[in-house]
Amino acid sequence: MSTPQEFNSENHDEIDLRDLALMLIEGWYWIVGSIVVALIAAFSYLMVSPTIYETSFRAVPASSSNFSGFNLFDDFTITPEDAYLALGNRLSSFQNFEAYVEENQERFELDEGGDLGRTFSRRLSISGLSNNADGSMVLEVHYRYPEGEQGDEILNNYVRDTSEQVWATLRERFNEYSRVQIANLDTRLELQKEALQQSREERIFELEQAITVARRLDIEKPTTPQQFGRQLTGNEVIYADIDSGDGTLPLYFMGFQALEADRDTLRDVIGQGLSNEAIRETRQEMEQILRVVELLESEQLSGVDKDVEPNHTERVVDVVEYAHQPSEPSAPRKGLILILSLMLGGILGVMLVFLRRLAFILRQYKRNKSA
């Protein structure tokens, strides 16, 4: 009968940590060799991988005072959000980036014959064209570039040149609106003049009718119905019901002498001096817009070309952070890669030691079984 001690020794299947330690110590060269191979692979990767840096530009919508020069009319407004979105959309345009690269080819480190579209998608990323959860808007432009480029200068200049284009677009939009307003006012002025001239022609027609009646009644000078009755019969005649429908006497009571003078004067100036309160207001409004267009053409309009921030970037948006030269590359991360290679090499070495031990046990088992 087996004793408890014998039973425990015969069925003891637990792994002794001392045996594991001895096994790893005996197979140290596998572990060291795996680590060396992993480090060599890591160094080889780092040697062939290009060093990549990353820089960023951040901005928020500018103050509304930046666009006061454009907001001179009640029905035309440029808001800070309009300019902000215009800048973000233009920055994210490949055609805009392509034009900038063509003008600044010497600044870039590009592969000859490479796909510029792929370069654009890999290097440039833009966020912030929609509102955040709290309703704020923050434009972030990230630029990844290889060693040898001045990426911070490239990004800042790209934003500045694009901002200048955006400002020119806003300026042209305002200029076009002003010219359309001038055309509309010119049409309105012509219509008002035509209406006034037609009114004068109608007045002449009324005067001619009144002159005809006055001559037939022999009313030479202004008179009243009472006086007119005495002139005809010598008796008192009261014309209580004689009026023109609006409580006034008919025109012919003015006498044909005064009426003909009024008619002749209107005939002489019927197409001249066409002016009334409405026409004067239209002319004044047109003169103001013409002055705005004149100042735009001479680049002297305050708030648009004059008395504004010389840096176009800070006209269009409020800059939070300009792009700057990073202190270390963003890729490849050498420290992390070396640490990972050490860990992976060590794990691989331990696995090789276990596999070697397993192979040894299997061979021993086969020999014992065949014996």
- Residue 137's pLDDT is 92
Strand partners of residue 124: 143
* Model pTM above 0.85: no
**Nearest-angstrom CA–CA distance, 238 and 218:** 18
- Residue 148's pLDDT is 85
Strand partners of residue 56: 142
What pLDDT tens digit does each residue of the chain (371 aa) get? Answer: 444 444 444 444 455 777 778 877 888 888 888 888 888 887 777 676 778 899 999 999 999 999 999 999 888 999 999 999 999 999 999 999 999 999 998 999 887 777 899 999 999 999 999 887 777 899 999 999 998 899 999 999 999 999 999 999 999 999 999 999 999 999 999 999 888 888 888 888 888 898 888 888 888 888 877 676 555 444 444 444 444 555 577 888 888 888 888 888 888 777 676 778 898 999 999 999 999 999 999 999 999 999 999 999 999 999 999 999 998 887 777 777 778 888 998 899 889 888 888 888 888 878 888 76
Residue 307, amino acid = D
Q: Which residues contact 223 (CB under 8 A, 6 or more apart)?
A: 231, 253, 255
- Residue 12's pLDDT is 47
Q: Which residue has the tokens 């008179």?
A: 223
* Residue 302 DSSP label: B
- Residue 35's pLDDT is 85
- Residue 164's pLDDT is 96
- Residue 236's pLDDT is 43
Q: Please report, for the chain, the start and end positions of each structural domain, with discontinuous segments joined by +.
A: 18-49+334-371, 189-297
Q: Where are the alpha helices (DSSP H) in the chain?
A: 4-10, 17-26, 28-48, 80-91, 94-103, 116-123, 151-216, 225-233, 256-268, 277-297, 312-316, 334-370
- Residue 90's pLDDT is 97
**Nearest-angstrom CA–CA distance, 88 and 124:** 12
**Nearest-angstrom CA–CA distance, 147 and 149:** 6
**Nearest-angstrom CA–CA distance, 57 and 59:** 7
- Residue 354's pLDDT is 86
- Residue 53's pLDDT is 92
- Residue 275's pLDDT is 78
- Residue 8's pLDDT is 45
